[in-house]
């Protein structure tokens, strides 16, 4: 299966619905996190991005940021009421705003807390849970222990982005440490990290032949031909296809946000990746990032 990775601030439902039309070979998306802070109640409206009516074109698994079992249990009830059968727990977000509160990848500093939360969760619900992790906070010393702890629980699957939290999104992915999970985890594993060209995808497939789930994030933007190549679809994504995709995305973002500044911010974020495509490399990224209006971005 090919998964669209969660990119917070990018792969929201507007983006997902349009991408699903242009890239029908994406099978499913893990939606970016919604953070749960309360243990008693949460406004359902907070889960807007997960509402089934907003996700008609592509199946999603909702992702939750939490650091208490009560928060996960509360999220499971809300997601059950929205007809979901499973949810994902984020243990990968490296932002210090998140990790300093022991959330996201901050949880990886305390494996016994993860153990306690999971124990409590599975004693109180049957709602399926899957997890997305990194290989550690600032070193990988606890990784073997983490995999052992996770092996005790009936997780639906485990997604691994093989970087440390301290690496943020830089440096190489650590395939040696990933291999520890590949060999020792008893869960279905989803690989996530740096798949942005067909050669790397093929090499991962041959190194880890038991893996059937590949999650792609930034590569979906920086290499618009990748999905066609992976799915052996001979069609080449052209600049004309891009123009259509870009216009639809812009129109839908304007419709949704009704605020040009917000939309311009979103588009600039996307352009950091889009301009890496061969057919867009002639564009001047600095100029695009200086644009003051949506119409100033021409190509």
Q: How far is the CB of 172 from ligand FMN (least distance, A)?
A: 11
Label residue 190 exposed, middle or buried (CB < 10 Å: 0-12, 13-18, 19+).
buried
84 vs 282 by CB, closer to ligand FMN: 84
Q: Find, among 176, 172, 177, the residue nearest to 194 by Cα.
A: 172
- C-beta closer to ligand FMN: residue 155 or 216: 216
**Cα three-residue angle 290-296-299, rounded to 5 degrees:** 100
Beta bridge partners of 213: 190
Q: Min. distance of Cβ 158 from ligand FMN in angstroms?
A: 12
Identity of the residue, 41 or 75, whose beta carbon is nearer to ligand FMN in the bound complex: 75
**Which C-beta is closer to ligand FMN: that of 199 or that of 295?**
199
**Minimum Å distance from CB 33 to ligand FMN?**
4
CB of 142 to ligand FMN, least distance (A): 19
Residue among 51 and 169 whose Cβ is closer to ligand FMN: 169
CB of 22 to ligand FMN, least distance (A): 18
CA dist 49 and 33 (Å) reads: 9
Radius of gyration of the chain (CA): 19
Residue nearest to ligand FMN (CB): 217
Residue 240 Cβ vs ligand FMN, minimum distance, rounded to whole Å: 26
Alpha carbon of residue 85 to chain centroid: 18
Asked if 94 and 134 touch (Cβ cutoff 8 Å), the reply is yes
Helix axis angle, 239-257 to 260-274, nearest 10°: 150
H or E segment and range at residue 88: strand 86-91
Which residues of the shown chain bind ligand FMN in the complex (CB under 6 A)?
A: 5-8, 10, 32-33, 63, 90, 92-93, 132, 161, 169, 192-195, 216-219
Min. distance of Cβ 147 from ligand FMN in angstroms?
18
- Give the number of other CB atoms < 10 A from CB of residue 123: 8
Q: Nearest distance from residue 195's CB to ligand FMN, in Å?
A: 5
Is 185 or 192 the residue whose CB approaches ligand FMN more closely? 192
Strand partners, 3: 28, 215
14 or 192, CB closer to ligand FMN?
192
224 and 198 Cβ atoms separated by less than 8 Å: no
Give per-residue burial for 214-240: e unless 16+ CB within 10 Å, then b. Answer: bbbbbbbbbbbbbbbbbeeeeeebeee
CB closer to ligand FMN out of 106 and 217: 217
């Amino acid at each position: 299966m090919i998964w669209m990775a969660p990119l917070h601030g990018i792969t929201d439902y507007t983006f997902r619905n349009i991408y699903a039309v242009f890239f029908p070979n994406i099978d499913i998306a893990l939606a970016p996190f919604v953070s749960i802070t309360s243990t008693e109640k949460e406004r359902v409206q907070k889960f807007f991005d997960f509402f089934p009516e907003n996700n008609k074109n592509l199946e999603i698994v909702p992702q939750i940021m939490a650091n208490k079992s009560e928060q996960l249990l509360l999220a499971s009830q809300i997601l059950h009421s929205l007809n979901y059968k499973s949810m994902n727990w984020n243990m990968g977000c490296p932002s210090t705003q998140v990790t300093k509160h022991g959330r996201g990848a901050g949880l990886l500093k305390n494996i016994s807390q993860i153990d306690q939360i999971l124990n409590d969760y599975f004693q109180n619900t049957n709602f399926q849970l899957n997890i997305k992790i990194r290989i550690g906070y600032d070193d990988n010393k606890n990784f073997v222990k983490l995999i052992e702890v996770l092996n005790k629980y009936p997780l639906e699957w485990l997604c691994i982005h093989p970087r440390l939290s301290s690496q943020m999104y830089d440096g190489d992915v650590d395939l040696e440490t990933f291999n520890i999970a590949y060999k020792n985890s008893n869960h279905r594993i989803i690989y996530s990290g740096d798949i942005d060209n067909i050669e790397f995808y093929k090499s991962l497939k041959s190194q880890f032949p038991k893996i059937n789930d590949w999650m792609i994030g930034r590569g979906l933007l920086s290499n618009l031909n990748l999905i066609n190549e992976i799915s052996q679809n001979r069609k080449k994504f052209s600049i004309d296809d891009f123009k259509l995709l870009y216009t639809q995305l812009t129109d839908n973002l304007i419709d949704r946000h009704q605020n040009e500044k917000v939309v311009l911010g979103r588009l600039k974020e996307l352009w950091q990746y889009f301009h890496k495509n061969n057919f867009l490399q002639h564009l001047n990224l600095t100029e695009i990032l200086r644009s003051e209006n949506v119409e100033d971005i021409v190509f």
